[in-house]
């Protein structure tokens, strides 16, 4: 039971990482290049 829970948590973290990376990449593509704004988006400073 606990092993399944840990596996689910690991999968959720990996999935969230992929989604976050895709969103960051999409933001980069639509706003062109690595600007200060991109880092604000990446580190939630907005």
How many Å apart are CA 31 and CA 34, to the nearest integer? 9
Q: Where are the alpha helices (DSSP H) in 1-46?
A: 2-31, 36-42
**Cβ atoms < 10 Å from Cβ of 12:** 10
9, 10, 15, 28, 33 from 6: Cα distances, Å? 5, 6, 14, 33, 37
6, 7, 9 from 3: Cα distances, Å? 5, 6, 10
pLDDT of residue 25: 81
pLDDT tens by residue, the chain, 46 residues:
899 999 999 999 999 999 999 888 887 777 765 556 666 666 665 5
């Amino acid at each position: 039971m606990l092993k399944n829970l840990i596996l689910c948590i690991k999968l959720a973290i990996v999935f969230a990482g992929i989604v976050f990376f895709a969103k960051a990449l999409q933001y980069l593509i639509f706003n062109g290049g690595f600007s200060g704004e991109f880092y604000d988006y990446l580190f939630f400073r907005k």
